[in-house]
Amino acid sequence: MAAGSMVGRTLSDRLILVAVIVLGIVMVAPIVWALGLSLKTNAELMVDTSSVLHAPYTLQNYWDLVIGSPVFRWFVNSMIVSLGMTIGVLVLSSLAGYGFARLEFPGRDIIFVLVLFGLAVPEQAVIIPRHQLFSELGLHNTYIGLILPGLSTSFGVFLMTQYFRAIPREVDEAAMLDNATRFQVFWRVLLPMTLPAQATLGIYTFLHAWNDYWWPLISGTNAQMYTVTVGIASTQINFAESAGLGFLMAQAIFAALPILIVYVFFQKYIVRAVSGGAT
Amino acid sequence: MAELEIINVSKTFGQSKVIDNVSLTVGAKEFVVFLGPSGCGKSTLLRMIAGLETVDEGEIRIGGKRVDALPPGERGVAMVFQHYALYPHMTVRENMSFGLRNVKIAPAEIDRRVAAAAKMLEIEHLLQRKPAQISGGQRQRVAIGRAIVKEPHLFLFDEPLSNLDAALRVRTRLEIAQLHQRVDAAMIFVTHDQIEAMTLAHRIVVMNNQRIEQIGTPMEVYSRPATAFVAGFVGTPCMNFAPVEITGASPFVTLRLPDGSMLETRVDRKALPEGGRFKLGVRAESVRPCATGEGNCSGTVKFVERLGDRTLVYVLLSDGTTIVAEDAGMSRIAIADAVGLRFDSAGVHLFDDVRGYHAAEGA
């Protein structure tokens, strides 16, 4: 009985392992392919992209990137927008989460429901009025214009509210008996206790902001204000073009570096976030 | 001078009253225990003293100064919570010094106080650790240490032992008693555990249904309970209760037990109000098993608890009433034996059967 159960378990473990490997390959293959393309000359790729499977390889595309591509400018734009949005979301979500979890004020529960309602509203539904509003306010082609819409995150407020609620009120009370002001209770006692949630929210916000394409495409119409996603897309003249493919891929790999670094260093928090704290 | 005065204090949550016109005085260096079942209001009263709950009516004074409008940190009290409430991201040293840093105590003085408290509680080797790296018992010591360093006028303990295992609970209880001898402050300790109350308190405040049932020394509460509730709540096993009829003439009353047997007492007839209905209350140690026919009544043994130094015998009377009697540790009484019960008249209490107050007791 026990042996049978063990066999069954081993079999299911192996099936899961195979599925994980297949999924991993599906995820990684395009990145490896892009990396390979970026290491080939454009002339070779014009003839046949299968040349990526054999030598010679070159760093010429990366050198071209260094000496003459606007991708650095777009990279900086993306970095400013992503970091600005991440910091803004963390500050606002933490304050709002604390407020909803700990303060008592009229209409609190209704306001919280309204905030959660934001989870159900797709961006497509608000993009036109937002565009008109930002246009009238002259916020297009500015960093504020790129950052501001991303700060109102229902998910962030919800996550931080739930996290603050999970902290026993006795901790607040102990701090109050320790002569801490309300802000000290928030800043020095409770906020450090929410660091795991902050890390999760921060990483997700950063990744979302870095990968965002639609709003930067609408708001950043000036090439100087392109983010990497919009900028790289703008260099591709037509669909499935093969001219300059190696250079295009070098830009893409360069643009993806921060994302790869974030994934490598903050994997623990990403896993924790997607597993809902089950780890 | 009284360290704490609670004067006609009431508290309401929504429509329900959780503290109903409570008054109490706690002397300097006195150890008072709030004892009562869950929901009786004892923790709420403690939190009102600490400033964690508002006072709807009445006033609270600490050291002669009215404090019920002051924030918790300005009341001169320190509190130890049931679940420790340590700051998990801070080391033990930082936990203990946090409150002192907030009131700008000089760093050298903070170090001195933390070192002294850590030495007293034998947690010096834990000062650099975080709460997650120490055991439950050690966390409770840190929580106590955090209270000690503030050198408060009044310590408040909110069921601080309830998260500890049995052995650690006994040890920590003893340490809290020793701590009280060392520090120059009054202590209020909330518990639903009567043994903690009996062993720690100078005075016990027994609470029930948002009111104080009785205030007294442990032995007063035990030997002369003010109400049937107190009699039933304090003491293990619970006091035996049985409705009785008063039949005797003066000077002493005779009681008719529910099974019809008669019990002569030393209760003065004049001590009882006229026309009242009463119930008998008698502790197990005042009822001894004996041979059938020799005692005041008799019945059948339905259960025996052997506790080592004594044996509790649960005797079923003919009317279905159960009386718990106490026998010697080496008792040979077994289940289904027929036994007699002999009541010690000095241990007999009579309670008003309607309102529950203590009416009279045996001399």
ipTM confidence: 0.84
Would you say residue A240 has pLDDT above 70? Answer: no
pLDDT per position as a tens digit, A144-191: 999 999 998 899 999 999 999 999 999 999 999 999 999 999 999 999
Residue A274 maps to a domain = no
Same domain, A108 and A223: yes
Same domain, A78 and A153: yes
pLDDT per position as a tens digit, B11-43: 998 888 899 999 999 999 999 999 999 989 999
Q: Which of A168, A170, A178 sits opposite B99 (nearest CB)?
A: A178
Give percent of chain B with pLDDT exceeding 70: 98
Same domain, A45 and A83: no
Residue A240 maps to a domain = no
Task: Quickly state the pLDDT bin for B1 (edges 50, 70, 90).
Answer: low
Where along chain B do its domains lie? 2-227, 240-361
Would you say residue A277 has pLDDT above 60? Answer: no
Q: How much of chain A is helix, strand and coil, in % rounded to 5?
A: 80, 0, 20
Count the domains in chain A. 2
The CATH code of the domain at B2-227 is 3.40.50.300
Q: CA separation (Å) from A108 to A111, A182, B235?
A: 5, 18, 47
Q: Which of B78, B89, B99 sits opposite A192 (nearest CB)?
A: B89
Residues A149, A153, A154, A155, CA torsion sign: positive
| pLDDT score at B263 | 87
The Cα B242–Cα B40 span in angstroms is 25
Same domain, A82 and A216: yes
Same domain, A184 and A116: yes
| pLDDT score at A235 | 78
The Cα B24–Cα B216 span in angstroms is 11
The Cα A65–Cα A117 span in angstroms is 44
**Mean pLDDT for chain A overall:** 87
B-chain residues within 8 Å CB-CB of A189?
A: 87
Three-class secondary structure of residue B5 per DSSP: strand
Would you say residue A279 has pLDDT above 50? Answer: no
The Cα B300–Cα B206 span in angstroms is 35
B-chain residues within 8 Å CB-CB of A174?
A: 79, 81, 85-87, 146
Q: How much of chain B is helix, strand and coil, in % rounded to 5?
A: 30, 35, 35
B-chain residues within 8 Å CB-CB of A180?
A: 73, 98-99, 102
Same domain, A9 and A96: no
The Cα B346–Cα B224 span in angstroms is 11
8 Å CB contact of A175 and B79: no
8 Å CB contact of A174 and B73: no
Give B292→chain A minimum CA distance, Å. Answer: 57
The Cα A246–Cα A57 span in angstroms is 11
Question: For residue B5, which amino acid is it?
Answer: E
The Cα A169–Cα B137 span in angstroms is 21
pLDDT per position as a tens digit, B85-112: 999 999 999 999 999 999 999 999 999 9
Closest alpha carbon within chain A to B88: A193
Same domain, A21 and A158: no
A-chain residues within 8 Å CB-CB of B52?
A: 173, 176-177
DSSP for A19-30, written as a single string? HHHHHHHHHHHH
* Residue B153: count of CB within 10 angstroms of its CB: 18
Would you say residue A106 has pLDDT above 80? Answer: yes
| pLDDT score at A2 | 52
Same domain, A100 and A33: no
Same domain, A140 and A227: yes
Residue A122 maps to a domain = yes
Three-class secondary structure of residue B132 per DSSP: helix
Same domain, A117 and A171: yes
| pLDDT score at A278 | 43
Same domain, A206 and A142: yes
Give A174→chain B minimum CA distance, Å. Answer: 6
Question: For residue A175, which amino acid is it?
Answer: A
Same domain, A45 and A117: no
Name the fold adopted by B240-361: OB fold (Dihydrolipoamide Acetyltransferase, E2P) (2.40.50)
The enclosing domain of A110 has a CATH number of: 1.10.3720.10
Q: Which of A168, A170, A180 sits opposite B102 (nearest CB)?
A: A180
Give percent of chain B with pLDDT exceeding 90: 66
Residue A268 maps to a domain = no
- Give the domain extent around A46: 2-60
User: Mean pLDDT over residues B143-163, rounded?
Assistant: 92
Residue A51 maps to a domain = yes
Q: CA separation (Å) from A223 to A74, A130, A134, A254?
A: 9, 21, 18, 18
Dihedral Cα B287, B288, B293, B296, nearest 10 deg: -20
